Amino acid sequence: MGKIFFALPGNEKLTESLAEKCHAELGKAIIRQFPDGETYIKIESDVKDKQVILVCTLNHPDKKLLPLYYLSQTAKELGAKSTCLVAPYLAYMRQDKCFHPGEAITSSFFAKLLSSFTDSLITIDPHLHRRSSLSEIYSIPTIVIHAADLISKWILGNIENPVLVGPDSESAQWVSEIAYHADAPFIILEKTRKGDEKVTISVPHIEKYRDHTPVLVDDIISTARTMITTIGHLKKAGMKKPVCIGIHGVFANNAFSNLLFAGAQEVITCNTIPHESNRIKIDEILSLSINQL
Ligand code: R5P
């Protein structure tokens, strides 16, 4: 079955690269806003009997959702065999628990919504903390890809004598794997989040790693408070300036510049969300999974 790729706004570069790697067609669509803010969609390519791949990373998800929904529905009305959402960053995964009575568990609602209009989903390292797999909330087939190997390779090629630092117990799963393949030691800290922009972190004895370059690794850098607080502790312990690696650079507000200002030697991300810090490319591993569809 033929595949045809469509880029949602902002995803053009990755979409072109994926279509090329999959030797597939790049679809043409007009996606724009009417003067009143409503969305206009027109698919100009033939999608009949094709597998339609919609590429849309889901940071700032609220404003992306309606165009995505309209595009998927239009493709189906025009006879597409199926639609697959390729969302390198999957949003709302951190809202997975009712912490206070009355709070919405939006990760479930979001999953229900996406599952209602697309036939499959491919994503990279979704934030699975209290859930063990996407199938707990997504009713469509999902493929999860991991960036750990690519990050290990980047560390091996770019950092001398690294020690990996994971900010919390959740991070142990990927930090330990990355450290293993990068042939480096690692330590895991303990984090407590006290609010959107407030975290406390306790650091174990790290003095023995003073000759190493600390490499902070996390799945998401959002406000960057987690990394900034960690950098403060590393400074106090007399460690070298750290390199900060995030799989998904969400960078809320001034998070990126705040992180550099706090003392990060360098901030590196995967290109799951387009940003100047993108150094680790996920195009190849994504295209391999898309080809398996
Ligand atoms: C949390 O559970 C995640 O793994 C990250 O540590 C968190 O999302 C980072 O957020 P922030 O950059 O806002 O501290």
Residues 186 and 214 sit within 8 Å (Cβ to Cβ): no
Q: What angle do CA 179, 153, 254 make, to 5 degrees?
A: 80
Higher pLDDT residue, 200 or 56? 56
- From the CB of 224, is ligand 1 less than 6 Å away? yes
| Residue nearest atom 7 in ligand 1 by C-alpha distance | 220
Residue bearing the CA closest to ligand 1, atom 3: 220
End-to-end CA separation in angstroms for the chain: 10
Quick one: three-class SS letters along 132-175? CCHHHCCCCCEEEECCHHHHHHHHHHHCCCEEEEECCHHHHHHH
The pLDDT tens digits for 76-131 are 999 999 999 999 999 999 999 998 999 999 999 999 999 999 999 999 999 998 89
Look at residue 145 and tell me whether its pLDDT is greater than 90.
yes
- Write out pLDDT tens, residues 4-26: 999 999 999 999 999 999 999 99
170 lines ligand 1 (CB under 6 A): yes
Residue 65 has pLDDT above 80, yes or no: yes
**What pLDDT does residue 85 have?**
98
Confidence tier at 192 by pLDDT (50, 70, 90):
confident
- Of 90, 168, 200, 222, which is best to mutate to test ligand 1, by the most ligand atoms within 8 angstroms of its C-beta? 222
Task: State the Cα–Cα distance between residues 122 and 120, nearest whole angstrom.
Answer: 7
pLDDT at 158: 97
pLDDT in tens, 194-206: 777 777 777 777 8
Atom of ligand 1 nearest to the CA of 191: 6
The residue nearest atom 5 of ligand 1, judged by CA position, is: 220
Instruction: Please tell me the predicted confidence (pLDDT) of residue 196.
Output: 74
Whether 222 is in the pocket of ligand 1, judged by its Cβ within 6 Å, is yes
- How much distance in Å is there from the Cα of 222 to the middle of ligand 1? 6
Compute the average pLDDT of residues 202-211.
Answer: 83
Spatial separation of the C-alpha atoms in residues 255 and 262, rounded to whole Å: 10
Res 169: pLDDT: 85
Is the beta carbon of 269 within 6 A of some atom in ligand 1? no
In angstroms, the CA 6 to CA 26 distance is 6
Residue 144 CB contacts under 8 Å (≥ 6 apart), including other chains: 123, 124, 125, 126, 133, 134
- Span from the CA of 220 to the centroid of ligand 1 (angstroms): 5
CA–CA distance, 123 with 93 (Å, rounded to integer): 12
Tally of CA atoms within 13 A in the half-sphere of 23 that contains its CB: 2
* pLDDT band per the 50, 70, 90 thresholds, residue 140: very high
Atom of ligand 1 nearest to the CA of 171: 4
Q: Which atom of ligand 1 is nearest to the CA of 193?
A: 14
pLDDT at residue 156, as a whole number: 97
Residue 203: its pLDDT value, please?
74
pLDDT band at 289 (very low <50, low <70, confident <90, very high): very high
Q: Could you tell me what percent of the chain has a pLDDT over 90?
A: 86
Q: What is the mean pLDDT of residues 25-30?
A: 98
Using a 6 Å cutoff on CB, does residue 197 contact ligand 1? no
Ligand 1 pocket residue status of 223, Cβ below 6 Å: yes
pTM, to two decimals: 0.95
Residues 6+ apart with CB under 8 A from 287: 17, 18, 21, 22
Predicted pLDDT of residue 222: 97
**Does the beta carbon of 83 sit less than 6 angstroms from any atom of ligand 1?**
no
Given a contact cutoff of 8 angstroms between Cβ atoms, the answer to whether 111 and 123 are in contact is: no
